[in-house]
Amino acid sequence: MTRTKHNAKELAKVLSFARFLIWCVLHLHIEGTLDAELLLQLAKKYKVKLKWKTVAQIRAAYQFSSLDEFLALYYQGCNVLRDYDDFYTLTLRYLTRAARANVRHVEMFVDPQTHTNRGIELAMVIEAMADAALEAQRQFGMTTLLIPCLLRDHPIESGMDTVESILDIRQRDKRFKNWIVALGLDSSEANYPPKLFKRHFQRAKEAGLLLTAHAGEEGPPAYIRQAMKVLGVNRLDHAKRCLEDRKLVAELRRTQMPITNCPWSSLRLGVVNKLADYRLDTFLDEGLCSSIHTDDPAYFGAYEWQTLEACVETFGLTMDDLFQLSINSIVGSFASKARKIELKAEAYAGAARGFQHIQL
Ligand code: ADE
Ligand code: ZN
């Protein structure tokens, strides 16, 4: 399908329709929501010396030319996340913001090793996030799930210990049994192929977790295949580079493997030089189960709405495209069948209101 760039009037119309749609967030690192204000506040609390003194200085410093360059700063930021209140505040702050963008369901990534390596107790981190999630459900009727991720550039054995800790926490407290829904894989991708984590993912699957992995963000299409064939993932994160391999695209279409695209993140990490090069329109035209996400919104300077706006503008997304992206975010989620039915009903009702609105 050929899409043309919207003129100002069309753009305003599509965006006002978009305001009525609902979204599921499927690719969001909770540590990547640590905004400059909260970073300064927590640095003060713990007397951590930062290179920057103001919000403006921090924002100006967030310029990256690669995933690894970003990760260095991201892990440094994590150092101010220490106690229950920090994780509770971080989580509720993000969920509150997401609720304002019509997000109705959030699946949050957390990186356990980033915290346990500093002597922070994983159970405390999860408890704080769960309490914040409960508050978001109470205030906004928003549902959440948690996806702990293994850091692929950390020792294999540390990954295995992390899987066991997650399973132990999940078993010990019945609140977490279904809430901790999946295992993920993230951090530096180059030279860390998914197959290194075959045992970890097998163990998690046997214990009843679903599986997802970052693959094809910077890494080659072969890493996407490995995530599917060796790890047996239920969903793919990024998978941007699948477009380099026709056969892979055909398989992703046939299987309707959910893909969590993060176009703005890829722009900010230098994976693409301009947003148009991300080719989100191709993902849609190929009939892939693609949805749009923010990854680390505080670091990349775009939350849900800004990301959507940029994509509508750059790719000339239509109202049909937006509705499809909204539905894909529901279909691709790890929510229960019953919750997916509720979300779909909300999506259809929202779209109907949106159409009525733009007719006026
Ligand atoms: N951890 C946080 N953000 C990430 C990203 N974009 N890719 C891999 N690991 C991450
Ligand atoms: Zn990510």
For ligand 1, atom 1, the nearest C-alpha belongs to 187
Q: 210-215 and 182-186: which strand pairing?
A: parallel
Q: Would you place residue 2 in the very low, low, confident or very high pLDDT band (cuts 50, 70, 90)? A: confident
What is the CA(28)–ligand 2 centre distance, in A?
6
Q: What is the pLDDT of residue 337?
A: 98
Question: Does residue 290's CB lie within 6 angstroms of at least one atom of ligand 1?
Answer: no
Rounded CA gap, 257 and 332, in Å?
8
- State the pLDDT confidence band at 311, using cuts at 50, 70 and 90: very high
CA of 193 to the centre of ligand 1 (A): 15
Q: Which of 98, 157, 155 is nearest to 132 (CA)?
A: 98
- Rounded Cα gap, residues 176 and 127, in angstroms: 9
Cα-Cα-Cα-Cα dihedral sign, residues 254, 257, 263, 266: negative
Question: Domain for residue 169, yes or no?
Answer: yes
Which class for 309: exposed (0-12), middle (13-18), buried (19 or more C-beta within 10 A)? middle
- Within a domain: 23: yes
- Name the residue at shortest CA distance from atom 7 of ligand 1: 187
The alpha carbon of residue 183 and the mean position of all alpha carbons in its chain are separated, in whole angstroms, by: 13
Listing DSSP states for 6-56 in one string gives PPHHHHHHHHHHHTT--EEEEEEEGGGG--HHHHHHHHHHTT---S--SHH
- Give domain status of residue 3, yes or no: no
Going from the Cα of 297 to the center of ligand 1, the distance in angstroms, rounded, reads 11
Ligand nearest to the CA of 28: 2
Report whether residue 113 contacts ligand 1, using a CB cutoff of 6 Å. no
Domain extent at residue 169: 8-359
Please state the rounded mean pLDDT for residues 200-207.
98
How do residues 113-149 score in pLDDT, each as one tens digit? Answer: 999 999 999 999 999 999 999 999 999 999 999 999 9
Q: Looking at residues 64-91, what average pLDDT do you find? A: 98
Q: Is 259 helix (H, G, I), strand (E, B) or coil?
A: strand
Q: What is the pLDDT of the chain when averaged over all its residues?
A: 97
Catalytic residues: 217
C-beta 187 within 6 A of ligand 1: yes
Asked if the model's pLDDT at residue 253 lies above 80, the reply is yes
Instruction: Supply the pLDDT for residue 293.
Output: 98
Whether the per-residue pLDDT at 1 is higher than 90: the answer is no
Check residue 22 and give its pLDDT.
98
C-alpha to C-alpha distance for 184 and 149, rounded to whole angstroms? 4
Q: Is residue 204 part of a domain?
A: yes
Ligand 1 proximity of 295 Cβ (cutoff 6 Å): yes
* Of the candidates 227, 258, 246, the residue with the CA atom closest to the CA atom of residue 325: 258
Say yes or no: CB of residue 108 within 6 Å of ligand 1: no
* 104 C-beta closer than 6 A to ligand 1: no
Any atom of ligand 1 within 6 Å of the Cβ of 240: no
For residue 293, give the nearest of 320, 246, 248, 326 by alpha carbon.
Answer: 326
The residue whose C-alpha atom lies closest to atom 4 belonging to ligand 1 is 187
For residue 332, pLDDT over 80 is answered with yes
The CA distances from residue 341 to 9, 153, 184, 190, 260, in Å, are 34, 38, 25, 38, 20
Ligand 1 probe mutation, 214, 238, 261, most atoms within 8 A of CB: 214
pTM of the predicted model, to two decimals? Answer: 0.98
Read off the DSSP letter of residue 273: S
pLDDT confidence band for 108 (50 / 70 / 90): very high
Which ligand 1 atom sits nearest the alpha carbon of residue 237?
Answer: 7
CA distances from 66 to 32, 76, 243, 345 (A): 16, 16, 20, 40
**Residues 205-251: tens digit of each pLDDT:** 999 999 999 999 999 999 999 999 999 999 999 999 999 999 999 99
Contact status, residue 149 vs residue 186, Cβ threshold 8 Å:
yes
For the chain, state the CA radius of gyration: 19
Q: How far apart are CA 24 and CA 223, in angstroms?
A: 26
Helix (H, G, I), strand (E, B) or coil at 210: strand
Ligand 1 pocket check for 149: Cβ under 6 Å:
no
Whether 360 has a pLDDT exceeding 90, the answer reads: no
Handedness of CA 197, 201, 202, 207 (dihedral sign): positive
Does residue 262 belong to any structural domain of this protein? yes
Whose CA is closest to atom 10 on ligand 1? 187
| Spacing of C-alpha 110 from chain mean position | 10
What pLDDT score does 95 carry? 99
State the total domains in the chain: 1
Position 350 in a domain: yes
CA of 35 to the centre of ligand 2 (A): 16
156 in the Ramachandran plot: left (φ > 0), alpha (ψ -120 to 50) or beta? alpha
Q: Collapsing DSSP states into helix, strand and coil, what is residue 174?
A: helix
146 within 8 A of 130, measured Cβ to Cβ: yes
Let me know if residue 2 belongs to a domain: no
What is the residue type of 109? F
Confidence grade of residue 10 (pLDDT, cut at 50, 70, 90): very high
Q: Which of 118, 121, 128 lies closest to 91, judged by CA?
A: 128
Tell me which of 27, 33, 69, 70 to substitute to probe ligand 1's pocket, judged by most ligand atoms within 8 Å of the beta carbon: 70
Residue 1, domain member (yes or no): no
The CATH number of residue 95's host domain is 3.20.20.140
